[in-house]
Amino acid sequence: MQNTLKNLRADKGLSQQALGDLLDVSRQSVNAIETGRYDPSLPLAFKIARLFDCAIEDIFKDEAHTDA
C-alpha cells in the first residue's frame, strides 16, 4: 500500500520518533509504514488521519486498485 505519511510528517516538522510518540507506536513502526513494509491497523490508520486532519484515503492508496 502506498502512502503519503512521510510527506505529511515532514510538512508538520515531526521526526519519526515524535510521530510515533503521538501515535503510541515505535519509531520503527512509523518507518515501516512510511516505507510500505507494514500496513497499519484500521484503528491506527484512523488515528493517523485524525492527527493530520484528512481522510484515510488521502493518506493510504491501494496499489492494486486503479481508477478506470
CA dihedral 7, 31, 58, 14 (to 10 degrees): -50
- Domain of residue 56 covers 2-67
Average pLDDT, the chain: 94
Say which residue the cell 481508477 belongs to.
67
Contact assessment for residue 36 and residue 1, using Cβ atoms and an 8 Å cutoff: yes
| Confidence class for position 68, pLDDT limits 50, 70, 90 | very low
pLDDT at 4 exceeding the cut of 60: yes
Give the pLDDT confidence of 29-59 residue by residue, as tens digits: 999 999 999 999 999 999 999 999 999 999 9
Q: How far apart are CA 10 and CA 34, in angstroms?
A: 11
pLDDT at 9 exceeding the cut of 90: yes
> In Å, how far are 13, 15, 61, 68 from 39, measured between CA atoms?
23, 19, 11, 25
The CATH number of residue 46's host domain is 1.10.260.40
Q: For the chain, what is the domain count?
A: 1
